[in-house]
Structure 1
């Protein structure tokens, strides 16, 4: 999958004019790529469009127009685009009450390594988490993690042929299995695979 390049980004001015159209396109796109794994874990499976939007938004918010700053954003976000052999996802641990969230994050240390995907007929593939930096310490985990799920060619072929995709979490303090993602989600994710 091609990386997002400096030349392929919109200028701040052009993006500002087209921003609402981008949002209108991205909302249903992202909805189809979102999986709720139980009540408190959400995975947003990223792709070139979701990451391109994130880069454009960051450049807009930070008013970055110099090439070095733009390249820094590209270097930070391009690794989150799937490369054809994997799924990449942003994982969010969500609790509405701040005290409940703080307690949960203490109990969920290591949860990011226990998230999995499974093509029907194959073993679970556990996430490779937070490759850019560690997002937990001895006291708590972070509420946001970045995950990569590496798939074998046989798994990819099975998913492309319609094998069900399951998603789950196997952590001592949080267990949930979604036996099959929604058809529109599977269709969106299969497009990430070569």
Structure 2
């Protein structure tokens, strides 16, 4: 499984010197990999570039340079790197007004289990949500979920052959589909597949 090692990270000093360039690259990568599903759900697909930046930023902010602290960050973020047969993303449910958000999160209970990707000519692949810990409860869903889409060999081959990628949610309270993601997003997600 791909991972970021302790030895591959920059020291705090090295990172400080390269931070502006690395931040620009990471933001560009994040923007390419962000998919909007309607007005209120965003998927931020992670990869080694986005997570390496996040780790380096956390180490910088917390001024962490000891081995134990660095290992803690690596343990937290390495599982979010796609491993060649899947895509991993942060799902964010966004409503500006706090009262509306609270109401919608109740209405959207279970929405994370209705999130899917579909490669042209293939069946829908539903997200596996929150493997690290349960984020929803009996009455509402969480505003943030960590999801994984595990692709079968046929879907992987179809993506590599250039078939379009659709994404959507088929929840009774939020039904939306993007029939084709941007070429930049498709190219970036294709690189995640072995």
Task: Say whether the 8 Å CA contact 2:88–2:148 is kept in structure 1.
Answer: yes
CA shift, 1:184, in A, is: 1.0
**Where does residue 89 of structure 1 map in the other structure?**
89
Over residues 118-145 of structure 1, what are the superposed CA-to-partner deviations in whole Å (9 max), with x where a residue is unaligned? Answer: 1111110000011111111112221111
State how far apart, in whole Å, the 1-side matches of 2:187 and 2:91 are. Answer: 20
Runs of 4+, deviation exceeding 6 Å: none
**Where does residue 121 of structure 1 map in the other structure?**
121
**Alignment RMSD (CA, Å):** 1.0
**Where does residue 43 of structure 1 map in the other structure?**
43
State how far apart, in whole Å, the 2-side matches of 1:161 and 1:98 are. Answer: 44
State how far apart, in whole Å, the 2-side matches of 1:109 and 1:67 are. Answer: 40
State how far apart, in whole Å, the 1-side matches of 2:13 and 2:110 are. Answer: 42
**Where does residue 193 of structure 2 map in the other structure?**
193
Over residues 133-161 of structure 1, what are the superposed CA-to-partner deviations in whole Å (9 max), with x where a residue is unaligned? Answer: 11111122211111000001111111111
**Where does residue 178 of structure 2 map in the other structure?**
178
When structure 1 is superposed on structure 2, of 72-81 and 133-142 the one drifting more is 133-142
When structure 1 is superposed on structure 2, of 113-122 and 11-20 the one drifting more is 11-20
Secondary structure of the corresponding residue to residue 83 of structure 2: coil
Over residues 150-190 of structure 1, what are the superposed CA-to-partner deviations in whole Å (9 max), with x where a residue is unaligned? Answer: 00111111111111100000111111001111111101100
CA shift, 1:99, in A, is: 1.2
**Where does residue 80 of structure 2 map in the other structure?**
80
State how far apart, in whole Å, the 2-side matches of 1:132 and 1:47 are. Answer: 18
Q: Does 1:130 align with 2:130?
A: yes
The gaps in structure 1 that reach 5 residues or longer are: none
Task: Say whether the 8 Å CA contact 2:2–2:82 is kept in structure 1.
Answer: no
State how far apart, in whole Å, the 1-side matches of 2:175 and 2:168 are. Answer: 7
- Could you state the TM-score of these two structures normalised by the residue count of structure 1? 0.97
Q: Does 1:52 align with 2:52?
A: yes
Secondary structure of the corresponding residue to residue 147 of structure 1: strand
Secondary structure of the corresponding residue to residue 137 of structure 1: coil
The gaps in structure 2 that reach 5 residues or longer are: none
Q: Does 1:8 align with 2:2?
A: no
Secondary structure of the corresponding residue to residue 175 of structure 1: strand
Aligned length: 194
CA shift, 1:75, in A, is: 0.7
**Where does residue 111 of structure 1 map in the other structure?**
111
